[in-house]
Structure 1
Amino acid sequence: MIPQDLIRRKRDGETLEIQEIAALVHGISNGSLSDAQVAAFAMAVWFSGMSRAETVAFTLAMRDSGAVLNWAGWDRPVADKHSTGGVGDNISLMLAPIAAACGMVVPMISGRGLGHTGGTLDKLESLPGYTITPGTPQFCDVLKQAGCAIIGQTEDLAPADRRLYAIRDVTATVDSLPLIVASILSKKLASGLQSLVMDVKVGNGAFMNTVEDAQALARSLVDVANGAGVKTTALITDMNEPLADAVGNALEMRHCIAFLRGEKTGTRAHSIIMALAADMLIASGLAADHADASAQAETALNSGRAADHFARMVQGLGGPANIIEKADTILPSAPFFMPIQAEHDGFLTHCKTRDIGVALITLGGGRLHHTDTIDHSVGFDALLPLGTPVSRGQPIGFVHAATEDAALSAAYTMRSLYTISDEPKVDGPLIWDRIE
């Protein structure tokens, strides 16, 4: 098959056959397609889209461009969760051990921060010694011991996606729905999953700003994943404020430990985690309905079993064995600590969530370039949720920074990102929709 002919046909809106899509993906992964041809194919898909059948075939071909993990012989259901990204979104860190404590195997392949959104791997790297790229034998050993392992994408998982994404990133084709779906799912399907739960974020801190766009992405992800043989559901959840009360790598790890110790019940994060855990339990066949699933997830958390699974995962991947007990002394702390004070009395009614993520990058807690080094200690914590009444001078959160000047600047910026009104906020839903 001549690549340029396939690119032309997709540019003109024609439907490609499975073997034609497989040939293009093979050329992407082995280098026989030039960067110009890969870019042209991505732009053709951006303009013409793909049918559901094409997207399924494309996703499976991307999955099969490298190794596919096989859990045959394991006596527990294999499940995972994926989030489309947000600010203060550390849900995976708590959800994976809860799912493991409920009887699932969770081989979670996670990523680094992208744009204003935080990355699970960056948060885990604030743990001294934690290995985010273990070999397959160690990965499997940790899964057997802990039931969950959160690691980065290895060289042999979906290599076609790595090359295609790098080219999409510089050719204005990142926001193509079929390419987004294939990129997300190819890596998840390469993990050998039996079921998957998607957390699709919507709001001013998400990549999808409107409910309609989030629904379109969620529907496509669910349709393609189920078409590829993985039972999948999606929740559309709110990202109009940080999900945790902390933003920053080590600070979000502290939030995770506090949550697993039972200190964050009743929060937005708690509600989202329990909803996702319930869907994972039902999809895995471990619960009959949401009431049963929710009860199992709450018991796993309240009994301390989830914390134990998390500790075993961290130790198995080279981190400290006493992380649950000694998180405050193990995790790095920034030298300067400063309140973000409310400018007048009223109610917190709005925040510019995306800009909070950008403020973290400015502090050094994220990357402007992929080669940048992250300061894991910096960020914001004790952030009050929207709807909270405040008085002038009251802290609505705290800045953790490397220098006093950086702390002063960040506190000034953060004050400007929150709106304080005379009337309390009219709450929107935390979970906007469920797609199955």
Structure 2
Amino acid sequence: MRAYDIIYRKRMGEELTTEEIRALVSGFVSGEVPDYQMAAWAMAVCIRGMTPRETADLTMAMAESGDQIDLSAIAGRKVDKHSTGGVGDKVSLVLVPLVAACGAPVAKMSGRGLGHTGGTLDKLESIPGFRVELSPEEFVAQVNRIGCAVAGQTGDLVPADKKLYALRDVTATVDSIPLIASSIMAKKIAGGADAVVLDVKTGSGAFMKSLDEAFRLAEAMVAIGRQVGREVAALVSDMDQPLGHAVGNALEVAEAIETLRGFGPKDLEEICLQLGAQMLRLAGVAADGAEARKMLLRALRSGRGLSKLIEMVEAQGGDAGCIRQPVKLPRAQRVVPVTAPEGGYVQSITALEVGVAAQLLGAGRETKESPIDLSVGVVLRKKVGEPVAPGDVLAELHVSDDRRLAEAQERLLGAYRIGPGQPAPRPLVYGLVTDAGTERWA
């Protein structure tokens, strides 16, 4: 089975067989299929697309290209959650303990941040002593003991995806729905969860800029789940402005703690409730979304979600005193306000620019090897729809190094658009995609 023939058939718009897709992926991982041929095939996919069956076959071929995590020793139906990334997206820090407090086991493999988006592992490492590297045995034992764990990937998970993504990144083949969907779902399937809830972001701070693209990606990933025997639900949510107020590792941990105390930003709390409701439903803990939401609210208001976070932090070697007293988390040397040049209402906040400002201060990485400062970042004091007067503080920069401060100030101020008249509120969640179909709510 020649790679040339597989490339040619896809270029001509033909549907590839399962065997052809498996042969191409395994050949690419082994080095038998060179980069230039895989790049040609990826371009053919970008132009011609893939059927749902082809996309599912690609997903499974990549998932099976390396190690797969066996979670069968964990009691109950394991549900994972994945976000396509955004600015200020600290959802997992709230959601994992909250869902676990309701009785659903959460065994979450997370990653590190790159560019303007933050990584859950980096945020958790803001807690002194917190250990993100757990052996498979430790990981399973902890979930069985306390109901949740968050750790970095161990072993060689999905090597085909690592190789293919590096190639796509330099060959203008990143923005292909089948390739994006299979990349995300291969990692989730290799991670061993029984079901997956996805948060597909759309807007200026998201990978999927348009709403229609976000729904197409959500539908593609739910279809993959259906093809491979995993139940998948996907919410499409807004990332046109940052989620919550804090952007930066320790700052986001502090905001997550406030949310579990019941005093967090309403947008962050609401997206956690909606995603958590789907997780409890798929875990079989709640009969439907309405019952699940009530369970989550009880866990939130009673403090059981916060107690579960403390339990998880202690189990993974972290200083739980930082959860009880967030003032103990890493703090930047000083806080620099950014003020409004004019009055009116905040019309929009470009999430991407806020993320870049935080990255310039040291909160994000330019490359995978770049060091980060866990203490720095941005805290928004005004969000879309709020009134401002000239000189009001729009946001605060938490700074430890002045080298790129001026550039960060400029980017942050440029992210805000102020004008007359209060803008209409934007939806937080645009809809839900499940096996039953697509519901567009806005």
Normalising by structure 1, what TM-score? 0.95
Judging changes above 3 Å, is the alpha-carbon distance between structure 1 residues 222 and 290 closer, same or farther for their aligned structure 2 residues? same
Partner Cα distance (2:419, 2:47) in 1:
43
Partner Cα distance (2:160, 2:315) in 1:
30
- Could you tell me which residue of structure 1 aligns to residue 212 of structure 2? 212
1:239 Cα deviation from its structure 2 partner: 0.9
Partner Cα distance (2:5, 2:262) in 1:
59
Query: Percent sequence identity over matched residues?
Result: 43
Partner Cα distance (2:412, 2:75) in 1:
49
Mapped contact 2:114–2:366 kept (Cα < 8 A): no
SS at match of 1:128: coil
- Could you tell me which residue of structure 1 aligns to residue 395 of structure 2? 397
1:83 Cα deviation from its structure 2 partner: 0.8
SS at match of 1:271: helix
One-letter identity of the residue aligned with 1:317: Q
The answer to whether residue 318 in structure 2 is matched with residue 324 in structure 1 is: no
TM-align CA RMSD: 1.8
1:405 Cα deviation from its structure 2 partner: 6.1
- Could you tell me which residue of structure 1 aligns to residue 353 of structure 2? 355
- Could you tell me which residue of structure 2 aligns to residue 415 of structure 1? 413
* Unaligned segments of structure 2, at least 5 residues: 435-442
SS at match of 2:134: coil
One-letter identity of the residue aligned with 2:364: G
Instruction: Name which of structure 1's ranges 404-413 and 102-111 shifts more when overlaid on structure 2.
Output: 404-413
One-letter identity of the residue aligned with 1:241: Q
What is the count of residue pairs matched by the alignment? 434
1:92 Cα deviation from its structure 2 partner: 1.2
SS at match of 2:246: coil
1:308 Cα deviation from its structure 2 partner: 2.1
Once the two structures are superposed, residues 245-266 of structure 1 have per-residue CA deviations (whole angstroms, 9 ceiling, x without a partner) of 111111111111111222216x
Once the two structures are superposed, residues 178-200 of structure 1 have per-residue CA deviations (whole angstroms, 9 ceiling, x without a partner) of 11111100110112222111111
1:167 Cα deviation from its structure 2 partner: 1.6
- Could you tell me which residue of structure 1 aligns to residue 334 of structure 2? 336
1:404 Cα deviation from its structure 2 partner: 4.7
1:376 Cα deviation from its structure 2 partner: 1.5
Judging changes above 3 Å, is the alpha-carbon distance between structure 1 residues 412 and 20 closer, same or farther for their aligned structure 2 residues? closer
Judging changes above 3 Å, is the alpha-carbon distance between structure 1 residues 317 and 162 closer, same or farther for their aligned structure 2 residues? farther
Residues 22-101 of structure 1 aligned to structure 2 (within 5 Å): 22-101=22-101
- Could you tell me which residue of structure 1 aligns to residue 8 of structure 2? 8
One-letter identity of the residue aligned with 2:373: D
One-letter identity of the residue aligned with 2:306: A
- Could you tell me which residue of structure 1 aligns to residue 195 of structure 2? 195
Ranges of 4+ aligned residues in structure 1 off by more than 6 Å:
none
- Identify the match of residue 364 of structure 1 among 349, 357, 362: 362
1:406 Cα deviation from its structure 2 partner: 4.4
Mapped contact 1:100–1:106 kept (Cα < 8 A): yes
Partner Cα distance (1:242, 1:313) in 2:
27
Judging changes above 3 Å, is the alpha-carbon distance between structure 1 residues 194 and 386 closer, same or farther for their aligned structure 2 residues? same
Residues 27-426 of structure 1 aligned to structure 2 (within 5 Å): 27-264=27-264, 267-329=266-328, 331-404=329-402, 406-407=404-405, 409-426=407-424
Normalising by structure 2, what TM-score? 0.93
One-letter identity of the residue aligned with 2:285: L
* Unaligned segments of structure 1, at least 5 residues: none
Partner Cα distance (1:314, 1:29) in 2:
37
Partner Cα distance (1:43, 1:22) in 2:
18
Mapped contact 2:136–2:154 kept (Cα < 8 A): no
One-letter identity of the residue aligned with 1:309: K
1:88 Cα deviation from its structure 2 partner: 0.7
Partner Cα distance (1:308, 1:159) in 2:
37
Mapped contact 1:133–1:152 kept (Cα < 8 A): yes
